[in-house]
Amino acid sequence: MGKAEEAKKLGLTDEEYNLIVQTLGREPNDVELGMYSVMWSEHCSYKNSKPLLKRFPTIAPHVLQGPGENAGIVDIGDNLAVVLKIESHNHPSAVEPYQGAATGVGGIIRDIFAMGARPIALLDSLRFGELDDPRVKYLLSGVVSGIADYGNCMGIPTVGGETYFNDAYKDNPLVNAMCVGIIRHDDIIKGKAQGVGNSVMLVGAATGRDGIHGASFASEELSEESESKRPSVQVGDPFMEKLLLEACLELLKEKWVVGIQDLGAAGLTSACSETAARAGTGIELDVALVPRREKGMTPYEVMLSESQERMLIIVEKGHEEDVKRIFEKWDLYAVKIGEVTGDGMLRVLENGKIVAEVPAKSLAEGAPVIKREGKRPVYMDVQDLDYSKIEIPENLSEVLLRLLASPNIASKAWVYQQYDHTVRTDTVVPPGSDAAVLRIKGTKKGIALTTDCNGLYCYLDPYEGGKQAVAEAARNLVVTGAKPLAITDCLNFGSPENPEVYYQFEKCIDGISEAAKALEIPVVSGNVSFYNESSSRVIFPTPVIGMVGLLEDVKKRCTMAFKNPGDIVVLLGENSDEMGASEYLRVIFGIQGGKPPRVDLEREKRLHLCCLKAIKKGILSSAHDVSEGGLAVAIAESCITGNLGFEGEITSDIRADALLFGEGQSRIVVSLKEENLPALIELADETGVKAMVLGRVVPEYFRINVKDSKGGFKKIELSVEEMADIWSKSLERKVEE
Amino acid sequence: MRCAVIVFPGSNCDVDCFHVWKDVLGQPTEYVFHKERFSAEDFDLIILPGGFSYGDYLRAGAIARFSPAMDSVYKAAEKGKLILGICNGFQILLEAGLLPGAMMKNRDLKFHCHDVYLKVGTADSPFTNMYLPGEVVKMPIAHGEGNYYADADTIERLKREDRIVFYYSDEKGNITDEANPNGSAENIAGILNEERNVLGMMPHPERCAEEILGNTDGKRLFMSILEYLEGRVKIGKSRRS
């Protein structure tokens, strides 16, 4: 087989191959071709997404590190900073859910401590098909135990995330893992191979044949053959990673450490070329020096192995023994495999003989950008739903119970109780609320964390869906009392080669950018995952937004649970006549359609200001964002989690089901002592937010009356005990039935 | 009162235990690395923290018991020093033979992280003298292998000698199968050795020892230890053997 043909087989286009030949001034050898094929895969090169990602706002005074490094960093004062990053592990999880998810967690943790930070929290954003499919149950159980076994062993609490079920994800589940770390400003370290003559060392686990071409596997659609790619999935060892974490953090206190980089996708090839490219240097290494766990590995295999739990460390010449001493304490090896050079080349030797020699910058950053044109999908032109044809159900109490039973709305305790979420004793608002809150020991501060995205919204209107994901994530932080600080995004899409998918991608990015600009929340890190499709379906566009917020005084944090009988319940924001894309239409009528709810970003911003001020003043007993399932579900959740009831009456000319179950945006349900009501009304006036009294917190029943001006009347009447049983146990029942 | 927190490779509640004894109770606290030996005279309390020592490969706690630091733990236990093993620490104490019985995987084979109610089995110990016997307290658990097993004779003896410190119970103190999160024999959540100076327990008192965490039921365990070490309480009244 000719080289050009082989290149094609490895996923390189003719144009890319020609560029490689031109760059090298000769044909690449097998090792070089392998290295190019992984580094220029979509997964490593972002060649389809790069130009669009530039649209994100990434600069703000508190941003210490924006996109381009292992993770983003934002200042939180007190000489401290928060490090954050989210990443997908979708394809590996589709063929080997346990290891796929576990190594996803392992990889994202390494990204955080590669910046010198102590990882303090994990979140997981998951999407699966509907639970009536046995394979979906297998995937869900495998993914959850993979995340649990890895995160739990590491002693990093898994404090939040989301789990959604929709047939769109049946063949291609999404597993996005986010990690957050904390660091002192002066401890921040970069992934740069600086200083000619400095030593390049490999530490952690030995290198095996696992995960070879994992990055390429992640850059193609799932197919019948994907099962056979199981060997492309890496195998995780959380114990090894825990040792690696402690050893690296100990090492990074030393001033002679120049740079550090984790070995993830494309292994040594990527770690060496990226660190050298960032510093404008080169690296020369000898693969014979790399500790192996298998005999007879070729240079090709060593350079492309994605064996987990390894890091590349660049230290000042002469400190190699110091590195070894620290790693030996943790029973890990540290081996010098090469050194930094000044010629910009990544030169790979085997026992002193050159086996590959390519410009590091060309490998890491030289993949030709692919310019694509999007095409508006045909389905978007289909007329909006005619709601007059949808009759309002007689029994709205029954509707509410069915919504509370939907796995998309029901409690995710079955998932998060398998994760250790209390280790490190910082979790002051545990999973199950709008956002998790962690205290920062030694300060008065806290941080709030969330991930959000509604894939159906993004499918029906990618631009509005992108906007909504940001607004919703921010709102989830705001209701805890946290000011949103930064975004890390995980953009999950189908094949970018499909113009309709590319359109979705572009519009989602525009929506995210617009909302991020309006709400002044910079994007500091992220990840793109394309090719999430099978021969029969493409996933919903799912740009997951991970967000971190800051509470200046963690004691003032707020939660969604009602606290005191007699408290007044108030809606901040306005009800709207929007019903499209709702969980209500999906669960009750089997309709996934209509226009998703729109976010007015100005209004959203004012709402956040109002809620944050109210929490800061200490006048709220609870605050909860209105999202899937609408107003009725939001109030019900505040009841269930507070083990209290609600009684109220709403007069409105919006049709009753849209009012109760529509997912109109920019709304927060709060409760407060009656004596604080005037202060809240004043705050709402001042910030230009509508405030409407909905009713009162009562001991045990749940009753909402809805009236319109023409004398129409509807009601919901339920016992909180019944609602709680359904909401708390539905997911477990569906998984285990 | 001086406390040593043993750090095994894979310990991950070491920092939490350290934080409680040092910052919450304001007592001198040190980490002891598993490769080090120490003198029993240097410490009043030794904590074996939770985590996954040696990855819990083979069996939880099975490898940790061979570490050099454990040599010193055996000696300290013999000399009557207080040894507290929490979660993985409990598993290590069982493997080390400092406490009777064994630990199996949770009966539903899942990791469990949530609050449980515990009925205090005995307040007559250096660790629980600030609780009332029969009192119900709440603490978080976080484990995959907390299914305690011992043969009938052993359990009979534990009961006779008043060595069962905590039982998994419901909110009212009823010891029911429903309130048993992991399948432990007789709902046992923590036990003492014969001399009452070694306690192993699955729940995490260090995770509920501060107001800000919403629960301080665990703090009393550490305060009990301090009361005992400072000579304000005597124990052993109920020892009947």
ipTM of predicted assembly, 2 dp: 0.95
Q: Is the pLDDT of residue B81 over 90?
A: yes
In a domain, A28, yes or no: no
Which structure tokens are listed for A6?
């082989």
- Give the strand pairing for B82-86 and B45-48: parallel
Domain boundary among A529, A556, A583: A556
Q: Which of A719, A569, A730 is nearest to A643 (CA)?
A: A719
The answer to whether residue A4 sits within a structural domain is no
Tell me the C-alpha distance between A363 and B48, whole Å: 48
Same domain? A607 vs A688: yes
Do A132 and A277 have their domain in common?
no
Q: Report the percent of chain B where pLDDT is more than 90.
A: 91
Residue-wise pLDDT tens digits, A640-682 = 999 999 999 999 999 999 999 999 999 999 999 999 999 999 9
| Residues A217-228, mean pLDDT to the nearest whole number | 69
CATH number of the domain to which A260 belongs: 3.90.650.10
Domain boundary among A521, A556, A591: A556
Per the domain annotation, does A234 fall within a domain?
A: yes
The answer to whether residues A174 and A217 belong to one domain is no
What average pLDDT does range A485-495 have in this prediction? 97
Q: Which structure tokens are listed for A34?
A: 């392998």
Does the pLDDT value for residue A224 go beyond 80? no
Q: Choose the closest CB to A420 out of B9, B113, B210.
A: B113
Do A159 and A216 sit in the same domain of this protein?
no
Please answer yes or no on whether B111 and A239 come within 8 Å at the CB atom: no
Which positions in chain B have a beta carbon within 8 angstroms of at least one beta carbon in chain A?
Answer: 9-13, 15-16, 19-20, 23, 33, 35, 50-52, 54-57, 110-114, 140, 142, 144, 204, 206-207, 209-210, 212-214
* Residue B241 pLDDT greater than 50, yes or no: no
Indicate whether A453 and A394 sit together in one domain. no
Domain residue limits, chain B? 3-229
Provide the pLDDT for residue B56: 85
The CATH code belonging to domain B3-229 is 3.40.50.880
Using a CB-CB distance cutoff of 8 angstroms, which residues of chain A are in contact with residue B13?
Answer: 155, 423
* Per-residue pLDDT at A219 exceeds 60: yes
How high is the pLDDT of residue A647? 98
pLDDT of res. A229: 64
Pair (A402, A418) in one structural domain: yes
In a domain, A493, yes or no: yes
The H or E element that residue A162 is part of is strand A158-165
Indicate if A346 and A495 belong to the same structural domain.
no
What are the DSSP calls for A633-656, one per residue?
HHHHHHHHHHT-EEEEEEE-SS-H
Quote the DSSP letter at residue A383: P
The tally of domains found in chain A comes to 3
pLDDT > 70? residue A469: yes
Q: What confidence tier does A232 reach under pLDDT thresholds 50, 70, 90?
A: low
Least confident of A186-200, A556-570, A687-701: A186-200
Domain for residue A87, yes or no? yes
Average pLDDT across chain A, whole number: 94
Strand ranges inside A224-309, DSSP E:
257-262, 282-286
Residue ending a domain, among A528, A556, A584, is A556
The answer as to whether A375 is a domain residue is no
Q: Are residues A463 and A360 in the same domain?
A: no
Which of A154, A424, A428 faces B16 most closely, judged by CB atoms?
A424
Are both A168 and A212 inside the same structural domain? no
Q: Tell me if A736 is assigned to some domain.
A: yes
Q: Of all residues in chain B, what percent carry a pLDDT higher than 70? A: 98
Same domain? A614 vs A705: yes
Contacts of B11 in chain A (CB under 8 A): 155
- CB-CB under 8 Å, B140 with A425: no
Q: Which of B3, B13, B87, B208 is catalytic?
A: B87
Tell me whether residue A318 is in a domain.
yes
**Residue for token pair 């124990």:** B235
In the prediction, which pLDDT does A265 show?
84
**Kind of pairing, strands A483-492 and A523-529?**
parallel
Q: Which of B31, B113, B211 has the most A C-beta neighbours within 10 Å, making it the best mutation to test the interface with A?
A: B113
Are A163 and A238 members of one domain?
A: no
Q: Is the predicted pLDDT of residue A228 greater than 70, yes or no?
A: no
Residues of chain A with Cβ-Cβ distance to B31 below 8 Å are none
- SS in 3 state form for chain B? CCEEEEECCCECCHHHHHHHHHHHCCCCEEEEECCCCCCHHHCCEEEECCECHHHHCCCCCCCHHHCHHHHHHHHHHHCCCEEEEECHHHHHHHHCCCCCCEEECCCCCCCEEEEEEEEECCCCCCCCCCCCCCCEEEEEEEECCCEEECCHHHHHHHHHCCCEEEEEECCCCCCCCCCCCCCCHHHEEEEECCCCCEEEECCCHHHCCEHHHCECCCHHHHHHHHHHHCCCCCCCCCCCC
Using CB atoms within 10 Å of the CB of residue A320, give its burial: 0 to 12 exposed, 13 to 18 middle, 19+ buried. Answer: middle
Give the tens place of pLDDT for each residue, B94-124: 999 999 999 999 999 999 999 999 999 999 9
The angle subtended at Cα B210 by Cα B208 and Cα B216, nearest 5°, is 55
Q: A194 and A142 in one domain?
A: no
| Average pLDDT rounded to a whole number, residues A316-345 | 96
- Best A141, A420, A424 member to test B by mutation, with max B CBs in 10 Å, is A420
CA distance A357 to A352: 13
Quote the pLDDT of residue B236: 76
Enclosing domain of residue A310: 190-364
CATH of residue A165: 3.30.1330.10
